[in-house]
Each structure stands twice: as C-alpha cells, then as structure tokens.
Structure 1
Amino acid sequence: MSVDQRSGAERAAIEWEVRLREPATDERALRAFRKWHDGAPEHAAAWASLQRRLGLMGGRSGSGGGIAVARALRHPVEERRRALRAAFGTAVLAISGTGGWKLAHELGYDATWRSGVGEHGAATLADGSALRFDAASRIDLGTGRGPMRLHLRQGQLLVRARRALTVTVAGADIDCDGAELCAGRLGRRGIVAVRGGSAVLRVPGVRAVELASGDTLTFDGAGALSSPLSFNAAAGWTRGMLVADRLPLPDLAEAFGRYHRGILRVSGAAAGHVISGVFRLADLDGALRQIAGALPVRVNRYGLLAIIE
C-alpha cells in the first residue's frame, strides 16, 4: 500500500467516524459505510487503527480521557473533525499529546450544568432544591422574574422542587411546586414522572394535562400518553438502570449513547422493533446480548461501531 493510499484511507476513516455519530444517520449511510469498509483492505485497516487509538485514548470506560474524547465527538460536525484531526493527525493518526485534549475540553460548553458521556451530575438550586442529571445532559438556568425555570436541552433530570418551578423539555413546559419531578428525553419523545405533589404538562397547541403523584407520561408535539412506568422506573437512570416498556429500539440505542464512547446504530427492519426489559446502562455488551436474545435481529461490530439489523 502506498503512502498516499494509506493517508487517504485514514482521512476517510475520520470522516466516517464523524458521519456515523450524526443522530440522523440512516440506512443509506450505513450501507455506504459497509461498502467502503469492505471495499479495500486499507479501508478496513484504517478503520481498525482509528478504533484502536480511540480506545487507547479512552482507557478505562470511566476515565477522564475517554469522557473528553466522547464529548468532543458529540459536538457539531466540523468541531468533531477538528478534534479528531488534532488528536490523531490526518496522515499518521498519531496521538498528539495535550493539544488534542485541550481542544476536546474547550469545545463550546455553554450550558449552566452539563455532564459528560458516562457521568452523572448534581447541583443545588438557589432556593435549595436538589438537582440531579443523567449522563450527557445539558441544562440551562432561565433568567428573569417569575418561577425558576430550567431548560433541559439534552438528557434527563430529577429535581426536588422546594418552590414553584418550570422545566422545559422536548418543546413542552412542566410546572410544579413542591413536588419531586423526573423529566427528560427518551429518543423521539419526552417523559415526565411526578412524586410527592402534582405537576402540569403544557405542550404547545394541546390542552394542558395535570399529573398527580405517581403519574408518568410520555409526550411529543401531538400530545401526551399515560405510561405504566412507576416514578422509580422512570428515574432508573439514577441507579444505573434503564427500564423499557415497549421502547423503540432506536430510542434504546440513543439512551446507551449517553454512557458509551462507541457508536450504536439500528438499521433496516430492526428500527421498527420495540423492546421491554431492564438494562444496565454501564453494560453495553450485556444489553446487546439481551436485544439479540429477545428480538429477531443480529449485531455486527466494527470496532467501536455496533450496528443492530
């Protein structure tokens, strides 16, 4: 293999790493990746080399380096390219020392509170309310008069509200006062559960829905549906668990993406399946075995990329 061939394959591997991390990755992109990967030995070798070096930079799954790399890779496309090229170089994919780490740490962390991939966070609000948030979450504290407002841009949160509080998530507002509230996104829908008080869910253009203590709802722009999940089940992430009740497989994959540096994609007919069960969020391999045992799907691995199809 010539130097030019190797360099071109390495650049293509970086581009595929960036592209496959896009949430909108579709079946056509996955087919194109497999065609590229299997089309020449230097392509497979470049991909394997990149995956090994990503693993080396990550070290143990909970290490700070792994979190930094995963954070960088989940930023917008051009920033991910910059992070990968700075960390690996476009010609030799060599680890470049502190420069790559510095770039990864400085990529636009503008939320009031945020957590990295695989790490939970906690804070205390100005009124003394206790806030906890899931891995890969972003939360903004609203400004202005009136009740305190939290905007959950990404992830999930649990708050014990001491006073009136509004949480904005998935395009809806959730008002509560003195209740314990668990809210967030599960793939394409929002979820809210309340305990020890009541809450009101306000979806634009849809009649407001009241929640009593013990109620759990899922919702999107069309409205809300009652969920059989208990408060403890909805808040399972606080204990490292995900409790699924007929959860679409792509949404399960998205939840695991908050905890792992790798890429998990659902392709073809597998995207139409739903699954129920209890999953340990730290155990991706175990979850993949659960999925393969419960559904008529297969799992193909390409280093840190896993495709369920």
Structure 2
Amino acid sequence: MAAQWLACLHAGEATAAQREACAQWRRADPLHELAWQRAERLQAALGTLPPAVGLQVLDRPRSRGGRRTALRSLAALAPAVPAGYLAWRSASPETAGWTTAQRTATGERRSTVLPDGTRLHLNTASAIALDFQGGLRRVLLRQGEVQIETVPDAQQRPFVVDTRHGRIRALGTCFVVRQRDDEAGTLVAVQQSAVEVQAAQAHGQQPTRVQAGQQLRFDATGVQPAAPTDPQQAAWTRGLLFARDQPLADFAAELGRHRPGLLRCAPEVATLRISGVFRLDDTDAILAALPHTLPVRVVWRTRWWVAISARSAPPSG
C-alpha cells in the first residue's frame, strides 16, 4: 500500500478523505510507518519519486519471517531506485526548465545563497528545484519546508514559489512555505513585507495578498482566510523546536520529522501537555529528558524505533 498512497498524495489531487485514510493506514502498523518514511526519504533525496518505484518491496505481503524479513525488504529498496527513477525523471514534463536542485535528508537543515543573493533555509526532509533562466526567478517546492529571504533583482525579475497547489509571488519579503504529504494544501507564513497567493485552479481570480504577521493555507481550488502567524514558525532555522502547552502527540510528531526512523507516542499519554525550547541538533537528548518532566518512559527498541508510553505501562510498539 505504501507505493499506492505515495502516488495518490503526490498526484496533487488527493481529497481530505484520502489523506485521512492514508494517515490511518500509517498508524495501523509500525511497519506501515517505516515503509512510508523510507519512501519519503527517497523522495527527498531524489527530488520526486516515481509512483512505481519500490512497489514490489513496499507492497509485499508480510512473509513468515515476520518483522525482521519485512525490515530487510525495506532496506533492499534503495539499490533498485536509481535506474528506474532516472528513466522516469528524464521523461517527466514537471522537470522541464528546472536547472538546479537542493535537498535535505531527515534531520538535516541547510542554508544556501542563490546567484541573485536570495537566501534559502531548507528544513528537514525538504526538496526544491530552481529555474532562473527566463523572466522569472522560480523555486519549485517539491516537499517539505523552506524559508526564503528575497533581495531586489538587478534584472527586475519577479520571485515566485510554485507548489502543486499554486503559486506564491514575493513582494520584497521574508516568508516560509510548507508542503507536506500529511497536511492538506500549502501553508505560507509571512514574516516581512507581503506575498501574493494564486491557487492553481482559481483561473481569472485576483491573487490573495498576505501581509507580514499573517499566514494562510491554500490548495489547488482556493485560498483559506488569513490568520495570525506563529511567532516561532521559523524557529527551526535557528535549530530550535518550541512547544507552548502542546499535546505530547503533536510534539512527538514534529520531533519525529527531525530524526530518522519511527517515533511513536502511545494514546494514553498523547494529551499530556509540554512546554519548552529544545535544540534540534540532539533529538536523543530531548527524548531522554521527557521522563524528567512528564509521567512517561521512553523505550529505544532500536536506534530508529522509539516509543513514548505511560511510566506504569508496558512498552508500546
């Protein structure tokens, strides 16, 4: 199922019901989540993953060998990717005109300066492509999250960010764009100046302006109302994770984006609240500190399989 869900969500037309069904499938079994994360890491490393790649391995029924065999099957996926991926990518119309790629692995963050002086900050497991050859400075956000600090262009070319849901035009600004498969639509949060947002299928409609201090979400069909932005929206650019009276399940989900493998939060502790400022450079230390402030225990089943459960409960897988 992993390959089918990946193809469905990456097609850009998945419904809310389909996204929820995918989320339920991922929660149903740790192996489902591991398969999904494996595919997402490959996508981040390669730009865009062709739907058929890994289908045989990811969708193989569980064998008599159980979990160990299945985990070995997941590890076998990587060598099979390059040839099929390159053949698919060379024929993909989506890549036409895009000249440069930037990407980060899970747990990695990277900053780069573009030829025009614009500064990009890529969050964990993110991938972009660039095209500065025509009359536009274009960034294609394939997956993940990016903060962009634009500068005036000597050639006066507009700066735009494209996602599968539409286009964002910078108006001399600093802003964050996020597009994840487990979230509906694209999120844009403006820190300085303003941007204009145009949904992909909103033909003939005027773009929506988003001012500094505002954020909104949009999909291919339209734009949602703006709301105040989170002041710590871009804390990750400083290597920090902020939590303010946050449910532990949400905190664990965000922390899990910054470390490879599977991080599970048991239902009995999911609603515990957590606050603090945490350094993303050492996620193991964050997990080790949780039992000192909350009635939980953290069990490392493997280096890449960690469970948070109630202190008095047996370990949760």
List runs of 5+ in structure 1 lacking aligned partners.
1-14, 35-50, 52-67, 84-88
Distance in 2, matches of 1:92 and 1:32, equals 13
Q: Quote the offset at 1:139 in angstroms.
A: 0.7
The alpha-carbon distance between structure 1 residues 195 and 32, as it changes in their structure 2 partners (threshold 3 A), is closer
Number of the residue aligned with 1:282? 281
Hey, what does 1:305 align to over in structure 2?
305
Partner secondary structure for residue 254 of structure 2:
helix
CA deviations on 1:85-108 (whole Å, 9 max, x unpaired) are xxxx96996xx9xx9986688884
Alignment of 1:65-104 (within 5 A): 71-72=41-42, 79=54
Which residue number corresponds to residue 202 of structure 1? 198
Q: 1:48 corresponds to which residue? A: none
Per the TM alignment, residue 141 of structure 1 is displaced from its structure 2 partner at its CA by 2.4
Report the counterpart of residue 176 of structure 2 in structure 1: 182
Instruction: Calculate the TM-score normalised by the size of structure 2.
Output: 0.55
Contact 2:291 2:297 survives alignment (8 Å): yes
- Per-residue CA deviations over 1:1-45 (Å, capped at 9, x if unaligned) read xxxxxxxxxxxxxx99xx9xx9977667756569xxxxxxxxxxx
The residue correspondences of 1:222-261 to structure 2 (distance < 5 A) are: 223-230=224-231, 233-244=232-243, 252-261=251-260
1:202-221 aligned within 5 A: 202-203=198-199, 208-213=207-212, 215-221=213-219
Quote how far apart the aligned CAs of 1:176 are: 1.0
For 2:188, the equivalent position in structure 1 comes to 192
Counterparts in 2 of 1:17-56, with a 5 A limit? Answer: none
CA distance in 1, matches of 2:274, 2:216: 16
- Shift in CA distance, 72/180, structure 1 to aligned 2, threshold 3 Å: closer
8 Å contact 2:190–2:229 — kept in the other structure? no
User: How far 1:156 sits from its partner (Å)?
Assistant: 1.3
Deviations 1:58-81 (A, max 9, x none): xxxxxxxxxx99945987796398
Match of 2:263 in 1: 264
**Which residue identity does 1:123 align to in structure 2?**
T
Query: What's 1:38 paired with?
Result: none
Q: 1:227 to 1:251 in 2, by over 3 A?
A: farther
Match of 1:171 among 159, 165, 171: 165
Structure 1 residues 218, 308: closer, same or farther in 2, change over 3 A? farther
Q: Residues 79 and 194 from structure 1, CA distance in 2 versus in 1: closer, same or farther, beyond 3 angstroms?
A: same
Deviations 1:237-264 (A, max 9, x none): 1111123467676654443344212212
Offset at residue 195 of structure 1 (A): 3.7
**Does the CA contact (< 8 Å) of 2:189 and 2:229 recur in 1?**
no
Unaligned runs of 5+ in 2: 10-18, 59-67, 90-94, 96-100, 310-317
Deviations 1:188-241 (A, max 9, x none): 25443334422123346598542333x1414254614423522xx222111111
Q: Distance in 1 between matches of 2:163 and 2:273?
A: 23
Partner of residue 116, structure 1: 105
Judged with a 3 Å threshold, the aligned counterparts in structure 2 of structure 1 residues 197 and 299 are, in CA distance, closer, same or farther, namely: same
Whether the aligned pair in 2 keeps the contact of 1:169 and 1:183 (CA below 8 Å) is no
- Residue type matched to 2:306 in 1? A
Normalised to the residue count of structure 1, the TM-score between the two structures is: 0.56
1:26–1:147: structure 2 CA closer, same or farther, 3 Å change rule?
Answer: closer
Q: Is the 8 A contact 1:170 1:220 kept in 2?
A: no
**Whole-angstrom CA distance in 2 between matches of 1:220 and 1:270:** 32
Work out whether 1:125 is the aligned partner of 2:124. no
Supply the RMSD in Å over aligned alpha carbons. 5.0
> CA separation in 1, counterparts of 2:255 and 2:83?
24
